[in-house]
A = this chain, B = another copy of it.
Amino acid sequence: MVVLLDRVTDLRARVAEVVDLAQVAALLSWDQETMMPPKGAYFRATQAATLQGIIHERLTDRKIGDLLDGLDEPGVNHGLSEIDRAMVRVVRRDYERATKLPASLVKDLASVTTQALENWRQAREESRWDLFAADLKRIVELKRQEAACVGFRENPYDALLDEYEPGATTSQLQALFGDLRRDTIHLLDRIDRSGRQLDRAVFAQTFNSTKQLAFTELILARLGFDFSAGRQDKSTHPFTTSFGSTDVRVTTRVDEHDLAPALYASIHEAGHSLYEQGIPLELVRVALGDGASLGIHESQSRLWENFIGRGLPFWQFALPRLRESFPDALASASPGSMVAASNRVERTLIRVEADEVTYNLHIIIRFEIERRLIAGDIEVGDLPSVWNELTREYLGITPPDDRNGVLQDTHWAAGLFGYFPTYSLGNLYGAQLWAALRRQYPDLDARIAAGEFSIVLDWLRDRIHRWGRMKQPAELIQEATGEAPSPTYLVAYLNEKYGALYGF
C-alpha cells in the first residue's frame, strides 16, 4: 500500500509538470495570435520548439511507463481513488500515443507540415492544386505510417480519429453520418421547394466595432462567462484556450458591416470557455482538466451558438439590449426577423461560411475523403475530382476552382486527419443534449427569453463540465442523455426548425 501511494505520488508529480508546461505552451500560442508583434515570430518559433521538446521528453520518460505498468493492472487499479484511476487511464493513453511514434516520424511531420502550410497558403491564393499536391502526398504517407505505429483494430483511420475523439471508429461514424447525410439532403430539397428565402439584410448594415465588442462582452457575461477567470480579445480566427480552469481566454473577430461574425464567434467560444471554466480545480494538474474530446467540446460551442443563439427565445432576450447600442439600425427589427437573418440556408462552397443545415454535408465530404485516403482506396492525385464529385452529390453545386474546393481548408496542410468529423459529432451530441435538456425543462424557451441562461449552464456543468476528461465521450453522452450517441435528435431538430422557418 505504501508502495502504491508512492507510485501515485510520483506519477502525479510527473504528470503535473507536463500539464504545467502544456499550459505554458498554450500561453505562447495565445500570445502569438493576439498580442505578439510581428517580428516576435523569430524567437517565438524556437521558444515553442524547445518547450514542446521538453514536454515530449518528460511525457515519454520511461519512468512514467514503469509507474503506469505498476498502477494500471486491474488488481492494483481498484485501490486507487476515482480521480487517480482516471489519471492513470488518460496518461496511459497519452503516453502510448507519444511513445509509439518514432522521433523521426514526429520530426518529419513537423518539418513537412511547416513547409506545407506555406505552400498551401500560396496554392489556395493562386488556386493551384499542383503547388500543394506533393506536400500533401508526403503528409498522407506519414499519417498512414502514424496510424500503423499507433495501431487499430479495424480501420487505419480509426487510429487517427482516436486522437481527437477517443473511442470513435470509422464504422461508427459511417453509420451516424450516413443517416445524417441522407436526411440533410432531403431537408435541403424541401427548403428549395419551399420557394422561400430568409432575409439577412438586418445584419448587413454598419455597426460600430467598439459597440459590437462591448455587446459580445455583455452576452458572454450573461451566458455565465467569468471575466475574473478569463478575458476576450480579438484575433483573425476566433478560438478558446485554457491555462487551467481559472484562466480561460476567448477571442472573436469583428466586421463593421456585418453583425453576425462577432456575435456568433463570441457565443461559439463562450460554449467552449464555459466548459473549460466549469472543470474542477482538482482535475487540472492530473491531466483530467481538458474536455473529454473535440466532439464533446464542439457540442458545447454549437449548443450555445446554434441551438440557443440562433433561436427565438435568445433574440427575445437579446434584441432589446442590442437595440440600446444600435437604435437606428435595429429600429424596425423584431426577434423573428433576427432569427430569420441568422438562419438563412444556402448551398454554398465554403465550409466556414456554411449554415447549420449544409454544414454537416461539408464535413461528411471531408470524412469520406479522409477515410478513403488513409485506407489507400484513393490517392492524393484523385482529390480534386473526388472533392468536386462529392460536392455535386451532397450539395448539388460544383466548385468553379480548387480555391473554392479542395484547397479551402488549412487542416490537411497542418497534418490534421480525423479532426473534421468532430465538428459534426459536436452537432450530433449538441442536439442530443439539447433534447434532453428540453425534456427536463418544458418551460426552457420562456426562461431563456427571460435571460435565465444559468438553467442551461447548471445542467451542462452537472452532466458534462464537471467530469473534465474523466469519462469517454460516448459514456458522457450516454449518462447525460440516457442514450448512446445518435443522429436522430439532430435530424429532428433541423427538420422542425427549418420546417417552421421555410414554411413546410
Q: CB within 8 Å of B: which residues of A?
A: 16-17, 20-21, 23-24, 27-28, 31, 35-44, 46-47, 49-51, 54, 226-231, 243-244, 246-247, 281, 284-285
Contact = CB atoms under 8 A, between A and B. Distances in A.
Contacts of A36: 247
B43 A231 contact: no
21 contacts: A17-B50, A20-B47, A21-B50, A23-B47, A24-B24, A24-B47, A24-B51, A31-B31, A35-B35, A35-B231, A36-B247, A37-B228, A37-B230, A38-B229, A39-B246, A40-B229, A42-B244, A42-B247, A43-B244, A43-B247, A43-B285
Count of this chain's copies in the oligomeric assembly: 2
B39 A228 contact: yes
A24 B227 CA distance: 25
Contact of A27 (B27, B38, B226, B227): B27
Contacts of A228: 37-39
Nearest to A36: B247
Contacts of A40: 229, 243-244, 246-247
Contacts of A43: 20, 23, 243-244, 246-247, 284-285
A409 to B, nearest CB: 30
A244 B48 CA distance: 13
A37 B51 CA distance: 24
Contacts of A51: 20-21, 24
Given A37-B231, A50-B20, A44 B247 contact: yes
A51 B285 CA distance: 15
Nearest to A284: B43
Contacts of A284: 43
Contacts of A35: 35, 231
A291 B226 CA distance: 40
Contact of A39 (B16, B38, B247): B247
A359 to B, nearest CB: 32
Contact of A247 (B17, B37, B281): B37
Nearest to A246: B39
